[in-house]
Chains A and B, each alone.
Chain A
Amino acid sequence: MKKNLLKNPAVQSLIASLLCIFLGLLIGYIVLLFINPAGAWDSIVEVVKNFMHSPRPERQLRSLGTTLVRTAPLLMCALSVLFAYKVGLFNIGVAGQYVAGVCAALYAALAWGWGWLPCMLFALAAGAVLGTLVGLLKAYCNVNEVISGIMLNWITLYTTNMLLSKVKEVASPYTLHLTSNAPQALLPTLGLGRFFSDNQYVTIAVPLAILFAIGVNIVLDRTRFGYELKATGNNRNAAKYCGMAEKRNIILTLVIAGALAGLGGSMLYLTDLEQWSVTATSVPGMGFNGIAATFLGGLNPIGTIFASYFIQHITDGGTNVDLTMYCAQISDLISAIIIYLCGFVLFIKQSMNKRIAKNEELRLQKARLAAEEGGTK
């Protein structure tokens, strides 16, 4: 019998994700229609177009490059969420771990004059420390990782603002520019900017993030550690019964998740594309968008690469909407709707399977009937 393509779980995930995107954009469009029907269609098109917004190809390439620069940290955050989710942990602390990475990288670069590699490693360590805290609290004190993660997000935000105030510009709340104050900490570009109309912000961070995605894929699918993590995630008690060190795995997972997010923080801020504002009153959306990318990517590291790009694509596209009618946050709204819809993915897959099973049964029944008829005649 011909194998049904729809039965393939990867195909099902893809269909479910595309459905989420389509519905997310549709609902976003309806919201725009309610606000002001005149420019709704143009604005939603702008969101989807992003870098194609500019008519000149060189400008397009340049803004594509900038979107990629922001995709790298987003991908790292998404990988962090994904890694923890495989063990059944919801790492909402990713936002704080990302901020810790930003704080460590910028402080080491501006206050101590460290080079880019030590700065990155320091950021990695900072994220890992936060991850460890969540892990220890979860493993030994049974503290819900979502609540401890949120608490640490706020603690990290306030600490970061306090520390980075020491390396900020005198007249503004922003941290000093790396290009003029700490050029040694800028990530090497390896001439990658050439492909994006000399966009100096495109650095090794972009390919590095993709390598990490592949690495996470290998660890999860091809190593004993990855197998143990997934087993613990599927059934904690069964894993424990099989002799897997469940507590150690929980802590180790969150250490790695935190490290990934922390590294992500350094990947954006060591390009000097953005400066940290020490008056920030909320944790940046990067971490939370990472959650969106994880689930949109069907909880697969390779899928996450594309999902991260998509989320960043519409986030940047949001800045192009007609600001006399709408605001850039329409993209955040669409991302949030997409995550909400991702909650239904399991249901979508189940109903797909149910339909396939029903159809197959019908066909079998028909075949049997036909055979019986043939037999009696």
Chain B
Amino acid sequence: MSVVLLIQYTLIFSSVLLLVALGGCFSEHSGVINLGLEGIMVIGALGGALVMRFLPAGTPGILIVLLTLLAAILFGVLYSCLLAVASINFKADQTIVGTAMNMLGTAGATVLVKAINTALNPDDHSSTIQYITAKKAFIVNIGAFEFNWFMLVAVIMLAFAYITLYKTKFGLRLMACGEHPQAADSVGINVYRMRWSGVLISGMLGGLGGICYILAGVSEWKFENGVAGFGFLALAVMIFGQWKPLRIAGAALLFGLFRALSNVYFGFDWLVSLNLPGTVYNMMPYIISLLVLAFTSKKSRAPKAEGIPYEKGMR
């Protein structure tokens, strides 16, 4: 029983990490470091949660799923425009802008959700959205295993990412812009447009990852909490995966497993007998990612031109 639960949580958390890490992968391959993934996740989650909250009660399940996904994508893409405008057109420092987007995401979502809650009920000052009934639309019970549609979405997106990056003209051009934008420009590729596409795709995947995260284990979300560093864990997954979709998928499974442990460790007698405080399991994903980064960053295969604003005419 607890093994099934462990697999279930591992798969759902891996799906979150996979989606967001693929988002980071697209953005970085185009040459823009996306540290704002955390904020994009929050805003994507907000979009999805609002749809789930305000859809009329009798909406068919499939419609709930599609509309929620669509809203998360839309919110994520729109929000990622902030990064694209600043870092591509205005050549702003990508680290500052990314950090600002993380703070803006949490603060903005909190302000908005509180305003909505207070407007509906003057005594309600919480930043929580509930979606107990709508959540059921995402889950199919297969025996003891709760299948979540997001697991399928993650696999589809993995295939999409792999094919786009390696098998299409667009993907190869995108990667050229992250490696050597001047060379790409010299053969007639519009570097600005490619980078915009990279960031917008990362907004789409980040938004999806956000809604997936808040649907993973709970049926309400307090937006003041943001997404607990998951955007950055996803970046660690991306680095561990060396910016390659298939390796990222493997890395996501590993990190997902450690994250899942904190939800289900008490179901395993041998883990309980270790007598570690529960907090240790909460810390585990972050500790693992530090260790993994320490061993893998040295020979990193990061896109060469990432983080450097592209200026036409500069050599």
Bound complex: CA A121 to CA B136 (Å)? 53
B293 contacts A137, CB within 8 Å?
A: yes
Report the minimum CB–CB distance from A82 to chain B (whole Å).
13
Contact assessment for B104 and A36 in the assembled complex, using a CB-CB cutoff below 8 Å: no
- Considering the chains assembled together, what is the distance between the CA atoms of A347 and B88 in angstroms? 12
- B297: chain A residues at CB < 8 Å are 141-144
Give the contacts of B44-91 with A (CB-CB under 8 A).
82, 86-87, 90-91
- Docked-complex contact B225 and A339, CB < 8 angstroms: no
Complex interface: stretch among A5-13, A99-107, A154-162, A214-222: A154-162
A281 to B106, CA, bound (A): 14
Number of A-B contacts (CB under 8 A): 151
> Which residues of A are found within 8 Å of B290, using beta-carbon distances?
137, 143, 148, 151-152, 155
Instruction: Specify which chain A residues have a CB less than 8 angstroms from the CB of B97 in the assembled complex.
Output: 340, 343
B288 and chain A: residue at smallest CB distance:
A151
A327 at the interface (CB under 8 A from B): yes
Taking a contact as CB atoms under 8 Å apart, the answer to whether A324 and B283 are in contact is: no
What distance in Å separates the Cβ of A326 from its nearest Cβ neighbour in chain B? 7
- Residues of A within 8 Å of B286, CB to CB, are 151-152, 154-155
The reply to whether A92 and B99 contact each other, CB–CB distance below 8 Å, is yes
- Tell whether, in the assembled complex, residue B96 and residue A329 are in contact, meaning their CB atoms are under 8 Å apart: no
Give the residues from 279 to 293 in chain A that come closer than 8 angstroms, CB to CB, to chain B. Answer: 281-282, 288, 291-292
Of A177-185, A302-310, A330-338, which stretch is located at the interface? A330-338
Contacts of B103 in A (CB 8 A): 288, 292, 332, 335-336, 339
Residue of B nearest to A285 (CB): B103
B204 CB to nearest A CB, Å: 21
Q: Is the CB of A141 within 8 A of B232?
A: no
> Looking across the interface, which residue of chain A has its beta carbon closest to that of B82?
A340
Question: CB of B313 within 8 A of chain A?
Answer: no
- B115 and A148 contact, CB distance less than 8 A: no
**B119 proximity list for chain A (CB < 8 A):** 36
Determine if B110 is an interface residue (Cβ-Cβ < 8 Å).
yes
**Do A158 and B283 have beta carbons less than 8 Å apart?**
yes
A117 interface hit (Cβ, 8 Å)? no
Given A142-B297, A340-B100, CB of A327 within 8 Å of CB of B92? no
Query: What residue of chain B has the Cβ atom nearest to residue A348's Cβ?
Result: B90
B298→A141 contact, CB < 8 A: yes
**B: contact size bracket:** 35 or more
- In the complex the two chains form, is B104's CB within 8 Å of A340's CB? yes
Q: Does B236 contact A (CB under 8 A)?
A: yes
Q: Is the CB of B122 within 8 A of A337?
A: no
Complex interface: chain A residues within 8 A of B90 (CB): 343-344, 347
Contact B298 A343 (CB under 8 A): no
Q: A276 near B: Cβ within 8 Å?
A: no
Contact B232 A147 (CB under 8 A): yes
Which residue in B104, B112, B232, B279 is a CB contact (below 8 Å) of A158? B279
Partner of B96, one of A147, A161, A327, A342: A342
A206 CB, min distance to chain B CBs, angstroms: 26
Q: Is A190 an interface residue (CB 8 A)?
A: no
A250 to B277, CA, bound (A): 35
B228 contacts A by Cβ under 8 Å = yes
B282 touching A158, Cβ below 8 Å: yes
In the complex, per-residue mask of B102-131: 1 if CB is within 8 Å of any chain A CB, else 0: 011011101110110011001001010000
Chain B nearest CB from A98 CB (Å) reads 15
A120 to B14, CA, bound (A): 42
Report if A153 contacts B (CB, 8 A).
Answer: yes
CB of A340 within 8 A of CB of B101, answer yes
Q: Which residues of A contact B277 (CB under 8 A)?
A: 162
A333 to B125, CA, bound (A): 17
Residues of A near B287 (CB, < 8 A) are: 151, 155
Q: Is A146 an interface position by the 8 A CB rule?
A: yes
CB <8 Å contact, B293 and A141: yes
In the assembled complex, how far is the CB of residue B74 from the closest CB belonging to chain A, in whole angstroms?
Answer: 18
Q: Render B259-297 as a binary contact track against A, CB cut-off 8 A, 1 for contact.
A: 000000000000000000101001100110110011101
Most interface-central of A35, A137, A329 (chain B CB within 10 A): A329
Pick the most buried of A144, A148, A335: most chain B CB atoms within 10 A of its CB: A144
Q: Closest approach, in angstroms, between the C-beta of A44 and any C-beta of chain B?
A: 13
Q: A147–B92 Cα gap in the complex (Å)?
A: 20
Shortest 3 CB-CB distances between A and B: which pairs? A343-B92, A340-B100, A336-B103
Q: List 19 additional contacts besides A151-B290, A340-B82, A343-B87; criterion CB under 8 Å.
A: A35-B112, A141-B294, A142-B298, A144-B239, A148-B290, A151-B286, A155-B286, A158-B283, A282-B224, A326-B114, A327-B115, A327-B118, A332-B106, A336-B108, A337-B100, A340-B96, A343-B92, A344-B90, A347-B91
Residues of B within 8 A of A (CB): 35, 82, 86-87, 90-93, 95-97, 99-101, 103-104, 106-108, 110-112, 114-115, 118-119, 122, 125, 127, 224-226, 228-229, 232-233, 235-236, 239, 277, 279, 282-283, 286-287, 289-290, 293-295, 297-298, 300
